[in-house]
Amino acid sequence: MALSSEPDRLDPTTSSSLYTRYVMQTMCQKLYDIDENGEITPMLATELPAISKDGKTVRIPLKDGVKFADGTDFDAEAVKTTIERGLNLEESSRAAELGPIDDVTALGDHTLEVTFEKPFAPFTAALADRAGMIMSPKALENEGDDFGDNPVCVGPFKFEKRIAQTSIKVVKDPNYYDADKIHLDSITYQIMTDANIRAANIRSGDVQVADTISPQDVDALDEETGIGLLQSNSLGYQGLTVNMGFGDNPENFKTPLGQDPEVRRALSMAIDRKALVNTVFNGWFSPACSGIAPDSPFATDASNDCVDYDPEGAKKLLEDAGVELPLKVNMKVSNTQDTLRFAQAVQAATKEAGFDIKVQPMEYTALLDAQDRGDYELLQLGWSGRVDPHGNLYTFHYPGAANNVTGVDDDELSDLLTQASEVTDEGERAELYGQASERIGEINSIIYLYRQKNLTAYTENVAGIDVYSDGVVHLSEAGFLKNGGQ
């Protein structure tokens, strides 16, 4: 498989990259997963959780007869160890996803009980992502903070080696409980950041799968004999992240953009989302106006509402704010062709409104690092999306949450996001998330721009490849067809 960006650390507790999830999908199974309809389904659990009437106690039944790749037993104690690591590890990116847990208890070998200080509706959805990837306690004890260099989980494949900036290889795990369904001996993820190179390698057959096919290539590839295309709508988004007070360098956030919500509103108004998406991405993608996808069951008119494109009004906001025009802004972006094309289009489009945006390209992992350190004024990054809106909103907008890299701290928004996590009625949650989306649109710590389609190309001599709305490419049960598929 050709990967469009290099994964970060292969540690479910600390990683933040979509591309890490691609690799982890083959070797770190979760308690739950999502299916082709976006519904949560058991994976290492045997059923959906049993939840007490007050919503504070959750019991999860677990598979029996399962082993980790190191041969040790998967059991409730192992699940307890993973969840507690997600809660307590200083570098954890999972704590906010797991919610206000009071206690985690192993009830025998195959039942886990979790008690909460207050109800937490998004918990099951969190266990269908990295928070639910169960790690071998033996490996955690042996490797400690270096677990990501030699990860050990339950999965069809197990980690073999990584060559930095080049490749990651996984091999079939004979300990896997469903090994007879696995057809491949190994999978190598080859890092190919250039979209043209990924397309060329699919055409030549040097790779069998390639993610994030460029809209510039997709029409031509789709017409070629022997090449198939998988596409799915995304639960995530691409947007502009504004530093409002995050990190150690005040020069990054003591700026008109970082300190004045009217300036951020002007930037949002200055971008014609529909025109840019159609021009840059050939109509394959769609505009985004909030962190909730329109086809989510939690979508409402409020979450779908978008700011009107108004460059003249945006310029007046800047003039009323008393900033010197043109307003100079430094924007960090990943150095992929499509991202650079979009960034340059934003740069050109916002000039009319009085912005002078300098585009600074970076390697994807370096961009993630700059984001996590707060070493930016404005950056363009996205989120692959989660089935529950909590994973798309709370973690980015609640003070102290793992992905709150803007420094936003708004009492009204925090209260809405907390309430939405505590109620169980879907309609009530959707209404609260709609109100939260409206408030986010007033603050504009993240300016939502567009939603990608998940576009994955494959050679038609292989089968068993899936891509769902969370963006993850599933290769676990893939295999080569006999006689090349003829």
pLDDT in tens, 175-225: 999 999 999 999 999 999 999 999 999 999 999 999 999 999 999 998 999
Amino acid of residue 437: S
Residue 239's pLDDT is: 97
Write out pLDDT tens, residues 320-333: 999 999 999 999 99
Q: Could you identify the residue written with the tokens 């504009």?
A: 444
How far apart are the C-alpha atoms of 213 and 374, rounded to whole Å? 30
Asked if residues 392 and 386 have their Cβ atoms less than 8 Å apart, the reply is yes
How far apart are the C-alpha atoms of 218 and 75, rounded to whole Å? 44
In this predicted structure, the answer to whether residue 346 has a pLDDT above a threshold of 90 is yes
pLDDT band at 485 (very low <50, low <70, confident <90, very high): low
Q: Could you identify the residue written with the tokens 């009980």?
A: 113
CA terminus-to-terminus distance, the chain:
22
Q: What is the pTM of this model?
A: 0.87
Coil, helix or strand at residue 193 = coil
In sign, the C-alpha dihedral spanning 142, 144, 150, 151 is positive
Write out pLDDT tens, residues 28-87: 999 999 988 889 999 999 999 999 999 999 999 999 999 999 999 999 999 999 999 999
pLDDT band at 481 (very low <50, low <70, confident <90, very high): very high
In this predicted structure, the answer to whether residue 292 has a pLDDT above a threshold of 90 is yes
In 3D, which of 184, 177, 183, 218 has the Cα closest to residue 198? 218
